Amino acid sequence: MELKVKMQRTTLVPLMTAAVFLAGCTAGPPSQTEGHATPIATREGSRTLHADEIWNRALDYDYKGPRGEGDRALYDLLMLDNVAQNGGLLHGIQVLEPRELTAAVAGYRWFGLDALSDGVESVASEASGIDFEDPSTLPAQEDLEVRADDIYFGEQGSELFDAAFKEKLAERPDAFSDAEPFGQ
């Protein structure tokens, strides 16, 4: 006899959160060609900045070196993205501290992803009005979870990060700390 169990994402929050932080980040660096780092921009008197080095540095939660404005925005944006990629946007909103969520939304805006930023804020606002411990709110929870994932993974969703990052790096290389300290 086979036993079927249906679990909601919201009941898996503690387990998924631990898995995210133990397994590391899921977001990969910007696409590369032929296994080589992609040079994006150069700085006078400095070496070439590589998008994948900057991306990887942003994912390094223990990195103690300098973080420019762009590095910080990327780091904050990826904090939410990593959790959302593992459990959905609503899960990410529930797991992050309010200051982390605020910083993530600001990161999306810094990269020009205003529609996505607005969507995250809208879902967060609606989620704040739902008691996730009350079983009678399960239909509202499920509806919000579906809409949140449509917003986050739809055409205005997370697939836009790579292009927005590369565009901003090309426009404002000075907003990113020199990648040289990474990996030393």
> For position 37, what pLDDT does the model report?
46
Instruction: Report yes or no on 145 lying in a domain.
Output: yes
CB atoms within 10 A of CB 10: 19
Instruction: Report yes or no on 7 lying in a domain.
Output: no
Q: Is the pTM of this model over 0.75?
A: no
Q: 117-155, pLDDT tens digit by residue?
A: 999 999 999 999 999 999 999 999 999 999 999 999 987
Q: Which domain does 156 fall in, by range?
A: 50-174
Q: What six digits make up the tokens of 49?
A: 């900045």
> For position 123, what pLDDT does the model report?
97
Q: How many structural domains comprise the chain?
A: 1
Instruction: Report yes or no on 167 lying in a domain.
Output: yes
Q: Could you give the CA distance from residue 50 to residue 143 in angstroms, rounded to a whole number? A: 41
Instruction: Report yes or no on 41 lying in a domain.
Output: no
Instruction: Report yes or no on 29 lying in a domain.
Output: no
Regions in the chain scoring below 70 on pLDDT: 1-49, 156-158, 178-184
> For position 128, what pLDDT does the model report?
95
Q: Which helix (H) or strand (E) holds 7?
A: none
Instruction: Report yes or no on 2 lying in a domain.
Output: no
Yes or no: say if 93 and 120 are a contact pair by the CB < 8 Å rule: yes
Instruction: Report yes or no on 67 lying in a domain.
Output: yes
Q: Could you give the CA distance from residue 69 to residue 110 in angstroms, rounded to a whole number? A: 9
Instruction: Report yes or no on 21 lying in a domain.
Output: no
* Nearest C-alpha neighbor of 92 from the set 124, 68, 48, 134: 124
